Amino acid sequence: MRPGNYADNADRNINWKVFHTIWPYLLEYRVRIWIAIICLILSKAASVTGPFLLKYIVDDLSATDQISTNLLLVPGALIAAYGFARLSMILLGEIRDTVFGRVTERAMRRVGLEVFEHVHALDLDFHLNRRTGGLSRDIERGTNGISFLMRFFVFNIAPTLIEIALVIGLLLYNYGFAFAAITLCSVFFYIGFSMVTTDWRTQFVREAAQADSQASTISIDSLLNYETVKYFTNEDYEARRYDRSLERWENARRKNRLSLLGLNAGQALIITLAMSAMMWLAALRVTQGSMTIGDFVLINAFMMQLFIPLNFLGFVYREIKGSMANIENMFALMDLSPKVDDIENADELKIKGGAITFSDVSFHYRSDRPIVKNLSFTIQSGHKVAIVGASGAGKSTLVKLLFRFYDPDQGKILIDGQDIGQVSQCSLRRSIGIVPQDTVLFNQSIFENIRYGNPEASDAEVAQAISLAHLDSFIAELPEGSGTVVGERGLKLSGGEKQRVAIARTILKRPPILIFDEATASLDSSSERSILTALEEISQGYTSMVIAHRLSTIVDADSIVVMDQGSIVEQGSHSKLLALKGHYFELWTAQLRKRS
């Protein structure tokens, strides 16, 4: 299974692990749970009492000869009691739901946070393959599904079953075996039919959810790449692609709707047959004189009162099956383990000077294509080392390995003698700052994007970082200044402007180790010189690793490592490498020709 297709491995059967997840949240609010349960019991007691009060009212009215002329003979106390029972049933139910609402809301918050943290903990390989839109919808449906399960399983399924048992017991005690047997058989057939049919229908719910996720993925992916769509005038192509996914969703929803028709028709038939049999039997007993009109009304009220929640029970079971189908993907996601993980009780990285050592490091993304081969070199504390080479030589892969987005297949990477595989990833990444080649910004203001380098930084510190990154003049030209919102992924800024924001962000972080991955690639010559001066100032005394394409930017490096096809072919200072007239000399000469 590819990491991005975790949903393809979702269980075809119900994942009962959800109840194991819900249980801790129920225990956290024991007092609220008990209050809700007490309200539930009292509500059901009021519900069962109602039909008996109705029976006595009808019997008293039937026994009164002058109903039309003397309403004072109507048993007002019984009517008041019946009204109070109905009101109590409704109010207690509302109180129960309000009290329990805190539990479901906290559960959604906790589960949502747990999933969010888990997704962030997954390795880079997962995120390179993920379907952003589908992932978002899977998480949304999953958390909503858990809320539904908590509310309805605890306070609808169990209470309905309790009420069924009470009604059957009362019918058996007061009216004999026949009434209880008809009720029990109808409930048995109703529940059995609902479960079997709903199990069959779940496949259509799952198909609709998958089609919905796919449609969301396509739409978000297309909107994120808005400019590319416009460059190639592919609006119609994107619309057709989106419509095909919506067509699959429409077909799945149609199957779901037709199967629901069959389910509802079958349930209605069972209810109608049971009600008719009970009413016929009760009417027969009334004509025989063994039951009163009040008894007839009581049985009718009981059956109505029983089949309304039973019908709702069918709805709840359908929704539970649907919710579980929806959260299958979320659980499949939660079951994914990061390929790169901290060892148990991992130590914090302790920076002394920031020396970096790659020791016999080999790595591949695919087994048939090695990227880095037996690579060894050292960056001394406070030194600046440049990594150069043709595209595909493995330069940027070294950055990913240093950040532990991947672990080497062979060899070690050491910082101040500490194997980075033995320290916590958080402490490692906290110690390294990077200005990437492709800068992606948040859809916030320039000021907040820079503060992201150190969320605890003061406004004065952010302003200083802006100054060091030579952003002052650019920000001064903006109507909203540093409060200008950059748009999604920073699309409102040019490549060079985004790069300078990224540089300011890294300046604000002030880590002991700095990495520049083509940091000035998007800048013009004037801006490049300004930025290089600033970088030179802030990197004094810091360990720096520079991935460079423009060789003119790294002539002052303490050492230059030349890579070719994943291996180091040359290493030394700028002048030394030129004197060798090897790979570096060829790269230098080629760039000089491009300039001239």
End position of a domain, from candidates 477, 501, 525: 501
Assigned domain for 4 exists = no
> Mean of the pLDDT values across residues 126-130?
71
Are 361 and 411 within 8 A, CB to CB?
Answer: yes
Read off the pLDDT of residues 442-497 as tens digits, 9 standing for 90 and up.
Answer: 888 888 888 888 888 888 988 888 888 778 888 888 888 888 888 776 777 777 77
User: pLDDT grade, residue 262 (50/70/90)?
Assistant: confident
Domain identity same for 520 and 488: no
Residue 437: inside a domain, yes or no?
no
pLDDT over threshold 70, residue 584: yes
In this prediction, residues 244-259 reach a mean pLDDT of 87
Tens of pLDDT, residues 225-236: 776 787 677 888
| Lowest-confidence pick of 92-96, 265-269, 521-525, 564-568 | 521-525
Buried b (16+ CB within 10 A) or exposed e, 144-179: ebbbbbbbbbbbbbebbeebbebbbebbbeebeeeb
Strands (E), 250-368: 356-366
For range 20-47, the mean pLDDT: 76
Any idea what the CATH number is for the domain that residue 387 is in? 3.40.50.300
140 located within any domain: yes
Side-chain half-sphere exposure of 92, counting CA atoms within 13 A: 20
Q: What was the pLDDT predicted at 122?
A: 81
Q: How confident is the model at residue 59 (pLDDT cuts 50, 70, 90)?
A: low
Per-residue pLDDT at 596: 56
Tell me how many domains the chain contains.
3
Question: Of 19-33, 181-195, 286-300, 525-539, which one has max mean pLDDT?
Answer: 181-195
- Cβ atoms within 10 Å of 355's Cβ, excluding its own: 18
pLDDT surpassing 70 at residue 62: no
Pairwise pLDDT comparison (249 vs 289), residue with the higher score: 249
Please report the pLDDT score of residue 17 as a whole number.
61
Confidence label for 560 from pLDDT (cuts 50, 70 and 90): very high
pLDDT at 72: 46
Which carries the bigger pLDDT value, residue 494 or residue 238?
238
Please state the rounded mean pLDDT for residues 188-205.
81
pLDDT band of residue 369 (cuts 50, 70, 90) is confident
Q: Is pLDDT larger for residue 392 or for residue 401?
A: 401
Last residue of a domain, one of 501, 534, 550: 501
Question: Which span out of 177-181, 243-247, 313-317 was modeled with the highest average pLDDT?
Answer: 243-247
CB 431 within 8 A of CB 351: yes
Confidence band of 158 (pLDDT split at 50, 70, 90)? low
Average pLDDT over residues 70-94: 69
List the end-to-end C-alpha distance of the chain, in Å, as a whole number.
51
Say if residue 496 is in the same domain as residue 519.
no
State pTM to two decimals. 0.65
Listed in sequence order, the DSSP H helices in 122-176 are: 124-129, 132-152, 158-175
Enclosing domain of residue 170 = 11-334
Percent of the chain with pLDDT over 70: 82
In a domain, 6, yes or no: no
Q: Are residues 540 and 574 in the same domain?
A: yes
Q: Is residue 5 part of a domain?
A: no
Strand partners, 89: none
Residue with the bigger pLDDT between 540 and 339: it is: 339
